[in-house]
Chain A
Amino acid sequence: MNQSEWPLWEVFIRSKQGLDHKHVGSLHAADATMAVQNARDVYTRRLEGVSIWVVESTHIHASNPDEAAEFFDPAADKVYRHPTFYTVPDSIKHM
């Protein structure tokens, strides 16, 4: 990477109290302070957020798309891992 270029940051926004921070995109910034301010200016212009997280993109380690088959496909035929074989009593709400 060009030394004079600012590093890339991933931005996570929590839309309102009680919900998760969700990944919304990325931006360039010289450091964390600037990244949070830039995120405010780029991603919360339309009342999208009440809280911002930023993570330098280099600190995110991803699974390899080439390994997607061995990583994820084996779970496809194991329906018994889903808790769908229980009968939920009527009195239990919000399951």
Chain B
Amino acid sequence: MDHPADLQPAPAAIAHAPTVRQQLFEFVLQLADTSLVLGHRLSEWCGHGPVLEQDLAMANIALDLLGETRSLYQYAAQLEGQGRTEDDLAYLRPATAYRNPLLVEQPNGDFAHTVVRQFLFDNYHYHLLLALKEGPDAPLAGIAEKSVKEAAYHLKWSSEWIIRLGDGTAESRQRLDKALATLWRYAAELTTPTATETALQGLGLVPDYADLLPAMQAHAAHVLAEATVPAPQVVPFAQRGGKGGQHSEHLGYLLAELQYMQRAYPGLTW
């Protein structure tokens, strides 16, 4: 993975007790996996966007997420202290070791599908980073501070498109409705803490998700109202498991493509 964002030195790790260090490693890895998988999904649009301008917009977002991913993996590797590198973490772990929520591995579908997936993620991502950048762990706060500006733009982009598709033509509305009906059930996992997250929340290292929800819900309600779309009802069959390593079938195919080169030619460099 080669990206100019890498020119910045890795932030210094602070002293945590071994168990906390392990929990923080798992949490940072979860964030990294999430951004990597979604960034990869968006990169699949490259050359296939509905118009050139949006093709570029999605590639830009993918690159932002990849830049964030690298910083997170570097910090995770540092926390783990086992000599693994960012590339080892990205390319040499099986799907069951990935900790991304199910939402981000869902296939692109049509443009409305991609926009809804992005909107649900951005709304969570932006508010999470906003809280993390004020957090007590300096390296994580540093990564969040850099990424939150990018996330603010991502949320603006996906919110605009929710409004345009919802309040657009009959066809765009029908596609948006379908995407919302399909993907809404994956949103709850983002803010449902795992045991690791709960432990870190208890230590103040991870923000309490209940504190993020009011702002997230207010933003979603505002955007959906602008889009003239009634807010989807809370679904009885919320889908979750990705943060615990239980993934949908889609992640395996995604990783097969993402990891192919390192699997086929171990240690290959450009």
**A residues whose Cβ falls under 8 Å from a Cβ of B:** 6, 27-30, 33-34, 37-38, 40-42, 45
Q: Do residues B57 and A37 form an inter-chain contact, with CB atoms below 8 A?
A: yes
| Contacting residue for B56 out of A6, A28, A34, A42, CB 8 A | A42
**CA gap between A27 and B56 in the complex, in Å:** 12
Contact with A along B24-64 (1 / 0, CB 8 A): 00000000000000000000000000011110110010000
Given the known interface contacts A30-B164, A33-B160, A34-B160, the answer about A41 and B51 at a Cβ–Cβ threshold of 8 Å is: no
Q: Do residues A27 and B53 form an inter-chain contact, with CB atoms below 8 A?
A: yes
Residues from chain A with a CB closer than 8 A to the CB of B52 are 27-28, 42
Q: Do residues B53 and A28 form an inter-chain contact, with CB atoms below 8 A?
A: yes
**CA gap between A34 and B159 in the complex, in Å:** 12
Within the complex, the shortest CB–CB distance from B48 to chain A, in Å, comes to 16
Residues from chain B with a CB closer than 8 A to the CB of A41 are 53, 56-57, 60
Q: Is B157 in the interface zone, CB < 8 Å from A?
A: yes
Residues from chain A with a CB closer than 8 A to the CB of B157 are 37
| Contacting residue for A38 out of B53, B156, B164, CB 8 A | B53
Q: Do residues B53 and A29 form an inter-chain contact, with CB atoms below 8 A?
A: yes
Q: Do residues B160 and A6 form an inter-chain contact, with CB atoms below 8 A?
A: no
